[in-house]
């Protein structure tokens, strides 16, 4: 392996986010994955458990050994559950490693909100403060040169990208926001659970964590920056019988002038100008999850309802790419000062 590139370690390499990072980073011209890490399977060849990686990874999993990781890597991706990332990040940071954390541990700036929504003690306030919230197309400039990025949640990514420009422009009433979200089952991770097994999911469609989902305060925190005042949203996630994909169908009242679909398209195209991964559909075309599958795109469409005065905004992403590993790499690119698209220019797999 060449060390002329940035060396990356992935903690949580046996999870869906970690395995997706391995796949995507293999195509990155400036990064070499030098350590794949597992807390439960150290010493095992990674391709044993993940035969789809056979040609690209002949190595064995390392244990969670900060000394070893420090000697092998420049950047560490933490694809670990919340509660675990907050234990690992401080040691790696102290050692001068760059950190991209995929968990929810460092996203919420308010420790009380973390305690309430994650039902867990928050990370040290100083560390939370140090972490940049990496929603690339909205706050991407803040990531430049920074050593510690907190990657957004999957639902939060789709919801915020879909709502931020209209809230900031004052075109929609930020007290009226309803986010009706649907996710494929890989969003729940690789661990086995009753709610995610085949006969519970197949031919089924169910809502969960109503008014209690941990991405609610994350969405509100970001939209408050758009509105310039506190925002509360109604957020209802659903599980749908597919593997990848998130669709957010969002409803908002228009307090003043009602805008046409074409006006929304123009506003959003201007807001996301020069940002390759947000594709604003033309008026009358609404995106579907298959149209972003396996890619780092977020596609957005609109429908203004003349009768009710509400606008419906649809956004879709692949939860494992733009919602996790892809955006994490985009954040690495931004923090390194590289082109944000580096290693991420995949056309979605279709059908």
Ligand X SMILES: CC(=O)N[C@@H](CCC(=O)OP(=O)(O)O)C(=O)O
What's CA 26's distance to the chain center, in Å? 19
Q: What angle is formed at CA 295 by the lines to CA 291 and CA 300, rounded to 5 degrees?
A: 50
141 Cβ contact list (under 8 Å, min separation 6): none
CA 253 distance to own-chain centroid: 27
- Residues 100-127 as b/e (b if ≥16 CB within 10 A, e otherwise) read bbbbbbbbbbeeebbeebbeeebbeeeb
- Binding status of residue 183 toward ligand X by CB under 6 A: yes
- CA end-to-end span of the chain, whole Å? 35
By CB under 6 A, name the one of 82, 98, 182, 244 that touches ligand X: 82
User: Whole-number minimum distance, CB 243 to ligand X, in Å?
Assistant: 11
Closer to ligand NDP by CB, 99 or 280: give it.
Answer: 99
- Using CB under 6 A as the binding rule, whether residue 216 contacts ligand X is answered as no
Catalytic residue (one of 136, 154, 248, 298): 154
Q: Which of 84, 227, 239, 267 touches ligand X (CB under 6 A)? A: 239
Our finding on whether 162 is near ligand NDP (CB under 6 A) is no
CB 209 within 8 A of CB 117: no
Q: Per CB under 6 A, which of residues 255..314 are in contact with ligand X?
A: none
39 binds, among ligand NDP, ligand X, none (CB under 5 to 8 A by kind): ligand NDP
Find the part of the chain contacting ligand X (CB under 6 A) among 69-77, 133-141, 181-189, 301-309: 181-189
Nearest to 179 by CA among 165, 160, 166: 160
Q: Which residue, among 303, 187, 329, has the nearest Cα to 247 in the 3D structure?
A: 187
Instruction: Return the sign of the alpha-carbon dihedral for residues 136, 142, 145, 151.
Output: negative
Of 85, 103, 216, 333, the one binding ligand X by CB under 6 A: 103
Which of ligand X, ligand NDP, none lies near 41, with the C-beta cut-off 5 to 8 A by kind?
A: ligand NDP
Residue 228, preceding peptide bond in cis (omega within 30° of 0): no
Beta-sheet pairing, 246-253 with 310-317: antiparallel
Q: How many residues bind ligand X (CB under 6 A)?
A: 12
Give yes or no: 154 in active site: yes
Smallest gap from residue 135 Cβ to ligand X (A)? 13
Taking CB under 6 A as the rule, does residue 79 contact ligand NDP?
A: yes
- List 10, 15, 295, 332, residue binding ligand NDP (CB under 6 A): 15
State which of positions 124-163 bind ligand X (CB under 6 A).
153-154
How far from 201 is each of 18, 85, 134, 183, 243, CA to CA, in Å? 24, 29, 31, 11, 10
Which of ligand NDP, ligand X, none does residue 214 bind (CB under 5 to 8 Å by kind)?
Answer: ligand X
**What does the binding site for ligand NDP look like in residue numbers (CB under 6 A)?**
11-12, 14-18, 38-41, 64, 79-82, 84, 102-103, 153-154, 186-187, 189-191, 319-320, 323-324
* Active centre residues (catalytic): 154
């Amino acid at each position: 392996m060449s060390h002329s590139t940035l060396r990356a370690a992935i903690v949580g390499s046996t999870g869906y986010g970690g395995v997706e990072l391995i796949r995507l980073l293999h195509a990155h011209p400036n990064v070499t994955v030098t350590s794949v890490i597992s807390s439960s399977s150290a010493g095992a060849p990674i391709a044993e458990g993940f035969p789809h990686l056979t040609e690209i990874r002949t190595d064995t999993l390392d244990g969670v050994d900060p000394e070893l990781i420090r000697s092998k890597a420049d950047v560490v991706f933490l694809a670990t559950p919340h509660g675990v990332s907050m234990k690992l990040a401080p040691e790696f940071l102290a050692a001068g490693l760059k950190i991209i954390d995929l968990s929810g541990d460092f996203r919420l700036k308010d420790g009380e909100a973390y305690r309430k929504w994650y039902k867990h003690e928050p990370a040290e306030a100083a560390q939370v403060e140090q972490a940049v919230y990496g929603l690339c197309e909205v706050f991407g400039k803040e990531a430049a040169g920074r050593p510690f990025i907190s990657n957004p949640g999957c639902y939060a990514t789709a919801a915020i990208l879909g709502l931020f420009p209209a809230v900031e422009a004052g075109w929609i009433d930020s007290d009226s926001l309803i986010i009706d979200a649907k996710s494929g089952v890989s969003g729940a991770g690789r661990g086995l659970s009753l709610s995610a097994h085949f006969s519970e999911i197949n031919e089924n469609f169910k809502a969960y964590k109503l008014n209690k989902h941990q991405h609610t305060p994350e969405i509100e925190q970001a939209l408050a920056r758009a509105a310039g005042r506190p925002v509360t949203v109604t957020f209802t996630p659903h599980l749908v019988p597919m593997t990848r994909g998130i669709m957010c169908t969002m409803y908002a009242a228009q307090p003043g002038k009602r805008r046409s679909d074409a006006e929304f398209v123009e506003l959003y195209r201007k807001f996301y100008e020069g940002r390759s991964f947000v594709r604003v559909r033309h008026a009358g075309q609404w995106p579907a999850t298959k149209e972003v599958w396996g890619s780092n795109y977020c596609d957005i469409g609109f429908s203004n309802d003349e009768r009710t005065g509400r606008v419906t905004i649809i956004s879709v992403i692949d939860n494992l790419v733009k919602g996790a590993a892809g955006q994490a790499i985009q954040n690495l690119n931004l923090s390194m000062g590289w082109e944000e698209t580096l290693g991420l220019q995949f056309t979605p797999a279709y059908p």
